[in-house]
Amino acid sequence: MVNNAINTNGNYVNGANADIAITTHGSDFYFAICAAMTVAAFSFVGLAFRKHRRDRIFHYITAGVTFVAAIAYFTMGSNLGFTPIEVEYRRSNPKVSGMFREIFWVRYVDWFITTPLLLMDLLLTAGMPWPTILWVILVDEIMIVTGLIGALVRSSYKWGYFTFGCVALCYILYQLVWEARRHTTVLGQDVKRVFFMCGTLTAVLWTLYPIAWGLSEGGNVIAPDSEAVFYGILDFLAKPVFGALLLFGHRNIDPARLGLKIADYDDDPSVSGRHEKVVPSNGHSGGVLEGNTNGHHNGVANGTHDGISNGHNGVNTAAV
C-alpha cells in the first residue's frame, strides 16, 4: 500500500506553508506506532476479561491511554493535527533550513489526556491519597499546556513556557521517586516491586521529553522525521511497554489492598457490605421487630410464635 498522506493532506494550513515537515518516512513511522498502540490497546482490553469486573481499573486506564495514543498517531501519520509556526532559529542544515516548522499540536492533546492516566496508574499503585493524586495531575496538565504554548510561540519567549514546564516536571518526579515510592513500603513487596519498576521507567523516560522538545519544537535542531522517531520511541516505551509491565506486576495484587475496594452487585454476600446492610435496615423498619431478639433472622422468625409476640411488642412500641 502506498502512503500518500503528505500529498493528500498537504503542508499548507492556517495561512502558511510548513516547509520544515515530515516526509513519507516520518508518516510511515507514525503509522507504525499507531498500529502498535492499537494492538496494545486491544490486548489490554482482552486481558481485562480475565479479571473480575471490579478488579479491572488498571486495565481500563492503560487501555484508554493506548487507544488515545493510537488516534493521535493516526492523525500525525496522516499529516494532520499540526500548524506551521515560524522558527526562532533558521538553520543551515537543509533538513531544517525553512521558515515554518510543522508543529503537531495533536501530540499535546494526546498527552493532556494520557499523562494524567499514566500518573493515576502509578499513584493508585502507590496507594496515594486522592487529593495528592489530583494535585499532581493538575501540575502535570500545567506541564503539558506550557509545552504546547511554548511550541506555538515563535519568539524566544517560548523558552519561558518551557522553563515553567520543566519546573512542573521536577515536582512530578519528586512526588514519584520520593513521596509515592516511600508510600509503597507499607503495601507489601509485590506492590513495592511493580511501583519501583514502572516508576523508574517513567522517571527516566519523562526526563527525555523536554530534550526532544528542545531539539524539535524549541530549537529546530532535528528534522520532523527525527522528531517522529524520538517522540515515537519515547511514547512506545511510556505507554505500551510501561502498560504491559504494570499490568503484569498487578496480576496477583488485589486492588482492595491499595485502598481501591470497589463493590459489584454479584459480590459474594457473605463478604460484601451489601448483605450486611440488608439485615440492620430490616431490623429497624417500623416497630415490628423492636425488642426482637431474633431480629437477625431477617423476617423468617417473624412468622413463628416469636414473630407474633414481637408483633404485639411492635404495636405497643408504636403506640407509646
CA distances from 216 to 71, 207, 228, 291 (A): 22, 15, 10, 77
Residues 6+ apart with CB under 8 A from 287: 313, 314, 315, 317, 318
Among 169, 222, 247, 289, binds ligand RET (CB under 6 A): 169
Q: Which residue type occupies 147?
A: G
Considering CB under 6 A, how many residues would be counted as binding ligand RET?
A: 20
Please list the alpha-helical segments (H only) found in 175-250: 181-183, 189-213, 224-236, 242-249
Among 34, 36, 76, 166, binds ligand RET (CB under 6 A): 166
Stretch touching ligand RET by CB under 6 A, among 34-42, 233-241, 258-266, 300-308? 233-241
Residue 67 near ligand RET by CB under 6 A: no
83 pairs with which residues across the strands?
103
239/250 with CB nearer ligand RET? 239
232/295 with CB nearer ligand RET? 232
Residue 220 near ligand RET by CB under 6 A: no
Among 102, 225, 227, 235, binds ligand RET (CB under 6 A): 235
Residue 195 near ligand RET by CB under 6 A: no
75-114 footprint of ligand RET as x/- string (CB under 6 A): ------------------------------------x--x
Residue 59 near ligand RET by CB under 6 A: no
Closest CB 205 distance from ligand RET, rounded Å: 6
210/299 with CB nearer ligand RET? 210
Closest CB 277 distance from ligand RET, rounded Å: 42
Q: Where are the beta strands (DSSP E) in 42-138?
A: 82-86, 100-104
Q: Distance between terminal CA atoms of the chain?
A: 87
The H or E element that residue 139 is part of is helix 130-152
Judged by DSSP in three states, 164 sits in helix
Q: What does the alpha-carbon distance between residue 289 and residue 255 come to, in Å, rounded to a whole number?
A: 39
Contact predicate 196/204, CB 8 Å: no
Stretch touching ligand RET by CB under 6 A, among 47-55, 174-182, 206-214, 273-281? 206-214
135-164 footprint of ligand RET as x/- string (CB under 6 A): --------xx-xx--------------x--
Q: What does the alpha-carbon distance between residue 56 and residue 149 come to, in Å, rounded to a whole number?
A: 36
Residues 6+ apart with CB under 8 A from 66: 37, 38, 40, 41, 44, 239, 240, 243
Which three cell numbers mark 107?
Answer: 501530540
Residue 123 near ligand RET by CB under 6 A: no
125/310 with CB nearer ligand RET? 125
Which parts of this chain interact with ligand RET (CB under 6 A)?
A: 69, 111, 114-115, 118, 143-144, 146-147, 162, 165-166, 169, 206, 209-210, 213, 235, 238-239
